[in-house]
């Protein structure tokens, strides 16, 4: 069933000309196709095409799905990098710099890369932190 909460009028897209560009960059960075985004966001490929051309922008519920699929925030898509940062969940406040970098790289990797990392982690030796190599890793 297709999502009826798909797009705002072209007037809003005219007020937000960078949306289409940020969407295109995030889609390319993920290495995904328009049809995969459409499937995930429960909308049509035509809707995604209109977003990428700057004719429309997705409504809130769909925007949340688009952002989730692309591993970015809805605020980033709508307003750009100067968007206010959302409040971080409590668990993220205890992540070290190295862990944050690993999470970021994981989120930015392709689906194939994520699967390979997951498989590797399942077969990796469980080493104590003192046994891990220190080269290039910050433990801030």
- Look up residue 100 and give its two tokens: 């944050």
pLDDT band, residue 45 (cuts 50/70/90): very high
Within the chain, how many helices (H) and strands (E) appear? 8, 0
Q: What are phi and psi of 81, to 5 degrees?
A: -65, -15
- Look up residue 72 and give its two tokens: 């970015």
Q: Between residues 100 and 63, which one has the greater pLDDT?
A: 63
- Look up residue 42 and give its two tokens: 């429960």
Which pLDDT value is given to residue 20?
Answer: 93
Q: What does the alpha-carbon distance between residue 138 and residue 96 come to, in Å, rounded to a whole number? A: 9
> What average pLDDT does the segment 22-40 reach?
93
List residues bridging with 7 in a β-sheet. Answer: 58
For 75-97, the pLDDT digits (tens) are 888 888 765 555 555 444 566 77
pLDDT band, residue 52 (cuts 50/70/90): very high
pLDDT band, residue 4 (cuts 50/70/90): very low
Closest CA to 51 of 10, 15, 82, 83: 10
pTM of the predicted model over 0.75: no
């Amino acid at each position: 069933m297709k999502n009826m909460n798909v797009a705002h009028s072209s007037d809003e897209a005219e007020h937000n000309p960078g949306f289409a560009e940020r969407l295109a960059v995030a889609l390319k960075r993920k290495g995904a196709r328009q049809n995969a985004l459409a499937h995930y966001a429960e909308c049509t490929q035509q809707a995604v095409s209109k977003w990428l051309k700057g004719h429309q922008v997705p409504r809130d519920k769909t925007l949340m799905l688009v952002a989730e699929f692309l591993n970015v925030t809805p605020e980033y898509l709508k307003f750009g990098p100067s968007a206010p940062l959302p409040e971080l969940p409590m668990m993220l406040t205890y992540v070290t710099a190295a862990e944050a970098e690993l999470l970021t790289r994981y989120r930015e990797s392709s689906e194939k890369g994520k699967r390979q990392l997951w498989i590797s982690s399942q077969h990796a030796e469980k080493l104590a932190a003192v046994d891990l190599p220190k080269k290039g890793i910050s433990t801030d």
